[in-house]
Chains A and B, each alone.
Chain A
Amino acid sequence: DGGITQSPKYLFRKEGQNVTLSCEQNLNHDAMYWYRQDPGQGLRLIYYSQIVNDFQKGDIAEGYSVSREKKESFPLTVTSAQKNPTAFYLCASTPPIPGNEQFFGPGTRLTVL
């Protein structure tokens, strides 16, 4: 079945450590996105990528980094520079069709202790 995989579902890290969240899709979509969700709030865009080896900052990119070496993969690294990294992280993808909906993964809940 086609879809988006995010691993792990729950992730715990100590303060000051970098951590990488995985996002893989087999939908053959060109565009991929990372969102952050805090309790009681909507989703905010961290980074997005339209094609391989290209990505753009979203609204809250500070303290995060990404790579897009393969079409299927768009990992997100939460660095120690991110002041408040505890949140729910969602990855999404979409084909290059105007107005097409984004397809979301199951999310990773990151807790920094």
Chain B
Amino acid sequence: AQKVTQAQTEISVVEKEDVTLDCVYETRDTTYYLFWYKQPPSGELVFLIRRNSFDEQNEISGRYSWNFQKSTSSFNFTITASQVVDSAVYFCALSDVMTTDSWGKLQFGAGTQVVVTP
């Protein structure tokens, strides 16, 4: 069975500090996809980044960066120079390969609340 663990319940930082969110996953599949979503107070989930299991290259996109380590089953996410607008709940999610039984279903972690104060 798939499982996603976000051990950090809440992280509070002062604006301009960096924030790193941890995500550890479990899966028996060799091909899978990992996602980070942001949920602002309005409630709608916003897609941030995606990584497939064959691509361990870590990237930076603006103020966002991620560190995917297959050896430790981790997919950590960093916000650099945080801003008040980054305050939200962040979810890590895992998806297996599309089949007739599990077409793109997402397994979510419990989420990490990020609070950025001025």
* Residues of chain A whose beta carbon lies under 8 Å from any beta carbon of chain B: 31, 33, 40-45, 48, 50, 56, 58, 88, 90, 92, 94, 96, 98-107, 109
A27→B103 CA distance, assembly (Å): 18
CB–CB B103/A42 < 8 A: no
CB–CB A45/B105 < 8 A: yes
Q: Contacts A42-B110, A94-B104; is A99 near B52 (CB within 8 Å)? A: yes
CB–CB A41/B111 < 8 A: yes
CB–CB B45/A90 < 8 A: yes
Instruction: Tally inter-chain residue pairs, CB-CB below 8 A.
Output: 64
Stretch at the interface among B14-22, B62-70, B74-82, B91-99: B91-99
CB–CB B104/A100 < 8 A: yes
Q: How far is the CB of B85 from chain A (nearest CB, A)?
A: 18
Residues of chain A lying within 8 A (CB to CB) of residue B106: 33, 43, 45, 102
CB–CB B50/A96 < 8 A: no
Among B47, B95, B109, B110, point to the contact of A103 (Cβ < 8 A).
Answer: B47
CB–CB A98/B108 < 8 A: no
Q: Contacts A42-B110, A99-B52, A99-B95; is A105 near B105 (CB within 8 Å)? A: no
Residues of chain A lying within 8 A (CB to CB) of residue B52: 99
* Residues of chain B whose beta carbon lies under 8 Å from any beta carbon of chain A: 4, 6, 9, 33, 35, 37, 42-47, 50, 52, 91, 95, 97-98, 100-101, 103-106, 108-111
A31→B37 CA distance, assembly (Å): 19
CB–CB B45/A104 < 8 A: yes
Among B46, B95, B108, point to the contact of A42 (Cβ < 8 A).
Answer: B108
Q: How far is the CB of A108 from chain B (nearest CB, A)?
A: 9
Residues of chain A lying within 8 A (CB to CB) of residue B109: 42
Residues of chain B lying within 8 A (CB to CB) of residue A109: 43
- For this complex, 18 residue pairs linking A to B, each with C-beta atoms less than 8 Å apart, are A31-B103, A33-B106, A40-B111, A41-B111, A42-B111, A43-B45, A43-B91, A43-B106, A58-B105, A90-B45, A96-B98, A96-B103, A98-B97, A99-B33, A101-B35, A102-B47, A103-B47, A107-B43
